[in-house]
Amino acid sequence: MRTNKKTKEMREIDLKTRSDFVGKEEGAKDAVFFTETDVAFRIRSIKSFAAKLICSNDETTSYYNELKNEILSYKGIRSRISWNYESFNFGKDQIAKFSVRNGTLCLYFALDMKELKGSKYRVELCPSTRYAAVPCMYRIRNARRCECAKELIAMVTQKFGLVKGKTPGAECSSSYENSDALLKKVLIKKIKSKIARPVENDRTLFKFVDVTLAERSMTDEDAAIYIKDDVDGKKHKGKRGVVHVDVLSEHFEDGDTVNVEALRTKNLIPSDVGRVKLLAKGSLDKTLNVHLQEYSLQAVKMIVLVGGTVHRA
């Protein structure tokens, strides 16, 4: 069994440092403070590609090392790491890019989505202009996908007529470092900015919303501001459970209140669950008032974009 070196290192660091660091992983919540004049100050922790990679688990860094060495085994390819990603170029042509999205290693290819449609490669089209030259995104979630990524590398290098040479076999990733060390190296930046509280009447409402529409219609920053804190200091007894938005859409009606008790009554969670996290999935066509303990920002977007409210209970 392989030993997770980074996990061991994390156990050895100070508990306070570790809590601070883990809370600022990829999907870290912004700190938002409101004033009486409805002005909010937001402190954001922005992580570079290098920082995200350093914070990744051993499995992810192993895939990164393997795939980077595979790409660099083709003659003439050069790599360049910038704040958001790592690029691989052959002359003036961009061949591929690495990024880390929500803790998952992603590889982008200069391939045509139409040619891959219906194939075993479940690539996704990346609409961002930042990836216009390499629009086909492939998420490296497991060993099988790592092998499929190698096949996609072979396709894109063949497209550009590249010749495979000797695989470097070098260790490309860095060892784990905590947030303080990454801040000192300017691999994490903290940005404070003043923002206005969004007015509910100003947002565009939809009768139906899915995950894709929600992502396109609202930023993570605005979504975080729509979460209202109703925390009364009481501890929630019981296990932690997970519910998806499409389940709420199926089992609740317009105007319903969704909380742990309501979920338990409808047998949507086990009786011993006392804390629930809501995750985005499927679609939603109901206006709901949700009072749960944790949310993904995608789930928040789906709730508020159909006119609902989100409360952290």
**What pLDDT is recorded for position 175?**
82
Q: Does the structure show a pLDDT above 60 at 89? A: yes
SS3 (DSSP) at 131: helix
* C-alpha–C-alpha distance, residues 12 and 222, integer Å: 36
Of the options 3.90.1150, 1.20.1070, 1.10.760, 3.30.420, the CATH number for the domain spanning 56-159 = 3.90.1150
Classify residue 123 as exposed, middle or buried by CB count within 10 Å of its CB (0-12, 13-18, 19+): buried
Q: Indicate the domain borders of the chain.
A: 13-51+176-195, 56-159, 199-312
224-242 average pLDDT score = 80
What percentage of the chain carries pLDDT values higher than 90? Answer: 52
Amino acid making up residue 94: Q
* More confident site: 248 or 3: 248
* C-alpha–C-alpha distance, residues 186 and 51, integer Å: 9
Closest listed residue to residue 90, CA positions, set 154, 162, 159: 162
Lowest-confidence pick of 18-32, 64-78, 186-200, 217-231: 18-32
pTM over the 0.85 mark: no
* Inter-residue contact 294 to 227 (CB < 8 Å): no
SS3 (DSSP) at 245: helix
* More confident site: 37 or 256: 256
The residue behind tokens 């660099």 is 72
* C-alpha–C-alpha distance, residues 248 and 251, integer Å: 5
**What pLDDT is recorded for position 213?**
85
Give me the chain's average pLDDT, please: 82
Say whether domain 199-312 belongs to CATH 3.10.105.10. Answer: no
**What pLDDT is recorded for position 196?**
47
**What pLDDT is recorded for position 88?**
97
Q: What is the pLDDT of residues 187-221, one digit of tens each?
A: 999 877 664 444 455 566 888 888 888 888 888 88
Q: Does the structure show a pLDDT above 90 at 294? A: yes
Distances (CA, A) of 249 to 80, 190, 271, 283: 45, 37, 21, 7
**What pLDDT is recorded for position 69?**
95
**Angle, alpha carbons 26-185-131 (nearest 5°):** 50
Q: What is the pLDDT of residues 141-182, one digit of tens each?
A: 999 999 999 999 999 999 999 999 988 877 777 788 888 899
**What pLDDT is recorded for position 202?**
55
Lowest-confidence pick of 16-25, 132-141, 144-153: 16-25
**What pLDDT is recorded for position 41?**
58
Name the token pair of 77.
Answer: 């390819």
* C-alpha–C-alpha distance, residues 216 and 38, integer Å: 26
* C-alpha–C-alpha distance, residues 72 and 294, integer Å: 42
Exposure class string for 60-99: b at 16+ Cβ within 10 A, else e = bbbbbbbbbebbbbbeebebeeeebbbbbbbeeebbbbbb
Helix 5-12 with 58-72: angle, nearest 10 deg: 130
Which residues share a beta bridge with 100? 105
Closest listed residue to residue 260, CA positions, set 285, 230, 283: 230
Amino acid making up residue 52: K
What sign results for the dihedral spanned by CA atoms 255, 261, 265, 268? positive
